[in-house]
């Protein structure tokens, strides 16, 4: 192999050529390539303060979140709905006010339609949907993998806050921490005097296991752990908020969706870590869902289109907002 003569240099372009080529490549990349590929389509602007509802298999918000444009495209608001169209809803007691607010407005918007509502708990509503006795379930918990495999799909329509409540005659008027609540509902702290209250037992009123609020409370407050088996903890047979609140008296404690207790005169909401449910920093928040069975029928699609429209979201907000 021939070596270059001593003191000589290898043949090839001088370094300035490579520098100029690099500069030219960068110029093409940043100025000409976008013109060749076409400009990006404009995405719809998201108004300040608007939360994007998520649509996914679990409805948990952990999957693919879709924007307002795609959401409106999938569930468009119908300009007209045929008279006689019937929507039947059962499920979460936490969504009673949402159901009723949407029902009233839907019937006004689309005369001659029918909306039937019931509230027997999230699990019961989902079973009714699978059994065909309703065509829409209201759920305050995400779907399980088993429910998804049976063709159910959840659509997030609102957010809710779980409030801790005591009776107005209860002399305890301080804030509780998340840790203290965990100890109360696990049955580890059983007397109000532990928190500076009167020397009397804490009577814990728990919702039945069919309740979506029961399941959400376990996840949000207890970190997925079970409620305690202490004698001072009573699980109700029926998931109904009004009877539960009447049982609180001067020594009971329980939980409910904030919209159902915010304007009650017989109960008082307990602050958690110094925050009440109407504060942005309040820790116990969750999504609320409507669930349908695939393939979706036109009546359900029309109702979801209305629920996810600007008017429907305004009705939902009014139905979940405290005074």
- Determine the distance from the C-alpha atom of residue 110 to the mean position of all C-alpha atoms in its chain, rounded to a whole number: 27
pLDDT value at position 284? 95
- Residue ranges of domains in the chain: 55-160+287-320, 161-270
Q: 142-193: per-residue pLDDT in tens?
A: 999 999 999 999 999 988 899 999 999 999 999 999 999 999 999 999 999 9
- Determine the distance from the C-alpha atom of residue 75 to the mean position of all C-alpha atoms in its chain, rounded to a whole number: 18
Domains 55-160+287-320 and 161-270 share a fold: yes
- Which residues of the chain have a pLDDT value below 50? 1-10, 30, 33-69, 322-323
pLDDT value at position 33? 44
Q: Given phi > 0 = left and psi -120 to 50 = alpha, else beta, which region is 59?
A: left
Residue with tokens 């989902």: 126
Q: 196-220: per-residue pLDDT in tens?
A: 888 999 999 999 998 999 999 999 9
- Ramachandran angles phi, psi of 50, nearest 5°: -90, 130
Q: What is the CATH number of domain 161-270?
A: 3.40.190.10
- b/e 263-288 (16+ beta carbons within 10 angstroms → b): ebeebbbbbbeeebbeeeebebebbb
* Under 8 Å between Cβ of 197 and 171: yes
pLDDT value at position 91? 96
Q: What is the CATH number of domain 55-160+287-320?
A: 3.40.190.10
* CA pair distance 164, 177, nearest whole angstrom: 11
* CA pair distance 289, 138, nearest whole angstrom: 6
pTM: 0.66
pLDDT value at position 70? 64
């Amino acid at each position: 192999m021939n070596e270059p003569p001593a003191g000589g240099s290898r043949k090839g372009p001088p370094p300035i050529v490579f520098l100029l080529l690099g500069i030219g490549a960068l110029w093409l990349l940043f100025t000409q390539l976008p013109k060749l590929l076409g400009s990006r389509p404009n995405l719809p602007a998201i108004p300040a303060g608007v939360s994007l509802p998520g649509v996914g298999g679990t409805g948990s918000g952990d999957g693919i979140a879709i924007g307002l444009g795609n959401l409106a495209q999938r569930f468009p608001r119908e300009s007209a709905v045929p008279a006689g169209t019937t929507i039947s809803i059962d499920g979460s007691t936490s969504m009673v006010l949402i159901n009723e607010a949407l029902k009233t407005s839907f019937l006004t918007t689309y005369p001659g339609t029918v909306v039937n509502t019931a509230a027997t708990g999230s699990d019961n509503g989902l079973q009714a949907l699978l059994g065909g006795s309703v065509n829409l379930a209201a759920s305050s918990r995400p779907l399980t993998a088993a429910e998804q495999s049976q063709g159910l799909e959840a659509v997030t329509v609102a957010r809710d806050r779980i409030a801790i409540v005591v009776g107005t005659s209860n002399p305890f008027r301080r804030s509780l921490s998340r840790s203290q609540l965990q100890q109360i509902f696990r049955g580890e702290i059983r007397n109000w005097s532990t928190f500076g209250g009167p020397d009397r037992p804490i009577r814990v009123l728990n919702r039945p296991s069919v309740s979506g609020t029961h399941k959400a409370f376990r996840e949000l407050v207890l970190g997925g752990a079970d409620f305690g088996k202490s004698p001072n903890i009573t699980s109700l047979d029926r998931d109904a908020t009004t009877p539960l609140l009447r049982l609180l008296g001067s020594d009971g404690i329980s939980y409910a969706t904030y919209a159902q207790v915010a304007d009650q005169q017989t109960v008082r909401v307990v602050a958690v870590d110094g925050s009440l449910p109407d504060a942005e920093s309040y820790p116990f928040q969750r999504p609320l869902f409507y669930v349908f069975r695939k393939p979706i029928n036109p009546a359900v699609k029309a109702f979801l289109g209305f629920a996810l429209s600007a008017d429907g979201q305004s009705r939902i907000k009014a139905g979940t907002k405290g005074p």
